[in-house]
Amino acid sequence: MPTIKDVLNQANPSVIASQLRVCKVGDIFRALPVYAKGLSMTVAPTDMIATVGSFQLPNDAKAEVILRAYGRTNTGSVSNGPLTIAAGRMTSAPSTLNVQVTESGDIAGLASDAWTAVDILYIPRKFSSVITLTLPVVAGTGVCALPPAVTSAGMDSLLSATVTVGSVTGPAFVIANGTAPTNTHNVNMDLSKTQVQFRVADAVTAATLTIGLMHPAAEDLNLLLEATSTYLL
Contact 78, 71 (CB under 8 A): yes
pLDDT at 219: 60
pLDDT at 26: 84
Of the CA atoms within 13 Å of residue 213, those in its CB half-sphere come to 19
Pairing state of beta strands 173-174 and 186-189? Answer: parallel
* Rounded Cα distance, 19 and 224, in Å: 10
Query: Residue ranges of the alpha helices (H) in the chain?
Result: 4-10, 16-23, 25-30, 148-151, 221-226
Distance of CA 81 to the CA centre of its chain: 26
Tell me the per-residue pLDDT of 203-220, one tens digit each, with 9 for 90 and over.
999 999 999 998 665 566
**pLDDT tier for residue 19 given thresholds of 50, 70 and 90:** confident
Question: At residue 48, does pLDDT exceed 70?
Answer: no
Percent of the chain beyond pLDDT 70? 94
Which has the closest alpha carbon to 49: 99, 108, 9, 7?
A: 108
| Full-model pTM | 0.84
Beta bridge partners of 143: 138, 197
pLDDT at 29: 86
Beta bridge partners of 155: 213
pLDDT at 182: 93
47 compared with 3, residue with greater pLDDT: 3
* Rounded Cα distance, 223 and 192, in Å: 25
Question: At residue 105, does pLDDT exceed 80?
Answer: yes
Question: Span 131-157, mean pLDDT?
Answer: 93
